Amino acid sequence: MPSGFLGIEDIDRLIHEPARLIIVTVLNVVEAADFLYLQRETGLTKGNLSSHISKLQDSGYIEIEKTYKGKIPLTICRLTNQGREAFRRYRKHWELFIKKTRR
């Protein structure tokens, strides 16, 4: 359980960054998403999205599959079990924080 000032210092800072939070949130509700879908849903530029996806992949939170649709390159992203668990913990931390601040 979180400790310190309302447990906020225990929040997963990798997910907490706004762009990565929206990426993980989108991926949490779908089985997988291609790069263009993520770009549309997040509103990020290709460069920003690519950078944040790389950080999430390096952490083991998402996996990337490079394939083709016909002759067009296709990048598919999905949350790993580790990523789903990290997002579940992230949400739980925020729920606890909100409960504590309502008192």
Q: Which residue has the higher pLDDT, 7 or 82?
A: 82
- Say if 69 falls within a structural domain: yes
Give the CATH number of the domain where residue 60 resides.
1.10.10.10
Residue-averaged pLDDT of the chain: 92
pTM: 0.88
Helix, strand or coil for residue 5? coil
Spatial strand order in the sheet of 62-69: 33-34, 72-79, 62-69
- Say if 81 falls within a structural domain: yes
Q: With pLDDT > 70 as the criterion, what percentage of the chain qualifies? A: 92
pLDDT at position 2: 45
Query: Burial of 89 by CB count in 10 Å (0-12 exposed, 13-18 middle, 19+ buried)?
Result: middle
Considering its fold, how many domains does the chain have in total? 1
Distance CA 83, CA 57 (A): 9
Task: List, for residues 41-91, the tens digit of each pLDDT value.
Answer: 999 999 999 999 999 999 999 999 999 999 999 999 999 999 999 999 999
Query: Burial of 24 by CB count in 10 Å (0-12 exposed, 13-18 middle, 19+ buried)?
Result: buried
